[in-house]
Amino acid sequence: MAGALIVGNWKMNGLSETARALARAVRDGAGTVADRACLVLCPPATVLALVAAELNGSSVRAGGQDCHHKAEGPHTGDISAAMLKDAGASFVILGHSERRADHGETDAIVAAKARMALRFQLRPIVCVGETLAERDRGAAEAVVETQLLGSLPEGFAEAQGIVAYEPVWAIGTGRTPTRDEIGAMHRHIRRLLAEREMAAVPILYGGSVKPANAAEILAVPDVGGVLVGGASLIARDFLAIAAAAP
């Protein structure tokens, strides 16, 4: 897949009919950005198969929002990587700050989930990012380094894994880091990846990405795409973000 990677994380939004309609609208508009962007939609697991069916035969891919670190078994309410694959997913978001905070996911758990995603040929999108308190005390780079080194399993680069930098304080707040702040953290992550012989791993930025700021963000060196939250729920906004790719 060439071009910027534009990933829509629908989070806990979308029932059957609205999910189908949104997937169709993105699918039908994808041709206008095909020369510059690759689109991925990550809906809730309940509508993943419906969305994947709408996207079938198009350039847009489907992904999951999480998977369990075991292949199967007595894990009520969880979803396995195999189930995501069976439902039509090609990608899976892992270690999102909302799961780290709301479900107590550690770096070790995220790494175990990523290993399972690789086993079932899903491209993991592993999220890292600091809180505002951590940034204010000057610990942002150290926090991201710890998360990154603890969350990426062996074989991650070879399986075309992806890293997403999402400063927790920018998610859903409307507040976005400056171009310089984004660039500095992406350079830091790129250096850490290069030290692990993962220099080719794409790095996405996520956190209050909108049509109005997408072009500036996507022009930052080392930003290989964006992970979009709220704006991915509106097809024209999501496509406008993709159209902003250089």
CATH of the domain at 146: 3.20.20.70
Length of the chain: 246
pLDDT tens by residue, 120-168: 999 999 999 999 999 999 999 999 999 999 999 999 999 999 999 999 9
Can you give the pLDDT at residue 173? 80
Residue 203 predicted with pLDDT over 80: yes
d(CA 68, CA 78): 6
Is it the case that residue 242 has pLDDT exceeding 80? Answer: yes
- Enclosing domain of residue 226: 4-123+130-240
Distance CA 61, CA 69 (A): 23
Is a pLDDT exceeding 60 seen at residue 88?
Answer: yes
Which residue, 151, 93, 97, is CA-closest to 124?
93
Quick one: pLDDT at residue 172? Answer: 78
In a domain, 246, yes or no: no
Residue 161 falls within a domain, yes or no? yes
CA distance 229 to 213: 14
The percentage of residues in the chain with a pLDDT greater than 70, rounded to a whole number, is 99
Within 10 A of 52 (CB to CB), how many other CB atoms are there? 22
- Residue numbers in the known binding site are 9-11, 172, 208, 229-230
User: What pLDDT is attached to residue 179?
Assistant: 95
Instruction: Tell me the three-class secondary structure of 53-71, residue by residue.
Output: HHHCCCCCEEEECCCCCCC
Q: How far, in Å, CA of 64 to CA of 87, rounded?
A: 9
Q: Taking all residues of the chain, what is their mean pLDDT, rounded to a whole number? A: 96
68 belongs to the catalytic site: no
Phi and psi at 178, nearest 5°, equal -70, 165
Q: Considering only the C-alpha atoms of the chain, give the largest distance between any 2 of them, rounded to a whole number of Å.
A: 49
**Does residue 138 lie within any of the structural domains?**
yes
Whether 225 is covered by a domain: the verdict is: yes
Catalytic one among 54, 68, 69, 96? Answer: 96
User: Residues 6 or more apart from 20 whose CB is under 8 A from it?
Assistant: 47, 50, 51, 54
pLDDT of 171 > 90? The answer is no
How many CB atoms are closer than 10 A to CB 59?
14
Quick check: is 245 in a domain? no
Binding-site residues for substrate sit at 9-11, 172, 208, 229-230
Confidence category of residue 175, pLDDT binned at 50, 70, 90: confident
Say whether pLDDT at 1 is over 80.
Answer: no
User: What are the backbone dihedrals phi and psi of residue 205, each rounded to the nearest 5 degrees, phi first?
Assistant: -110, 140
Indicate which residue of 98, 166, 186, 188 is catalytic: 166
* Distance of alpha carbon 161 from alpha carbon 232, whole angstroms: 22
Residues 6+ positions from 235 with CB-CB distance below 8 Å: 22, 25, 26, 29
Q: What is the pLDDT of residue 176?
A: 80
Task: Mark whether 145 is an active-site residue.
Answer: no
Predicted local confidence at residue 174, as pLDDT:
80
Quote the pLDDT of residue 235.
98
The tokens describing 236, both together, are 């024209």
pLDDT in tens, 18-45: 999 999 999 999 999 999 999 999 999 9
| Helix (H/G/I), strand (E/B), else coil: 35 | coil
pLDDT at 236: 98
Domain count, the chain: 1
Strand partners, 227: 7, 206
**Residue 62 maps to a domain:** yes
Tokens 């990550």 map to which residue? 42
Cβ pair 176, 213 in contact under 8 A:
yes
Q: Is the pLDDT of residue 202 over 90?
A: yes
Q: What is the mean pLDDT of residues 62-72?
A: 98
CA distance 10 to 233: 6
Question: Using CA atoms, how far apart are residues 127 and 129, in angstroms rounded to an integer?
Answer: 7
Mean pLDDT within 211-223: 97
Q: How far apart are CA 146 and CA 151, in angstroms?
A: 8
Quote the pTM value.
0.96
Residue-level pLDDT at 191: 98
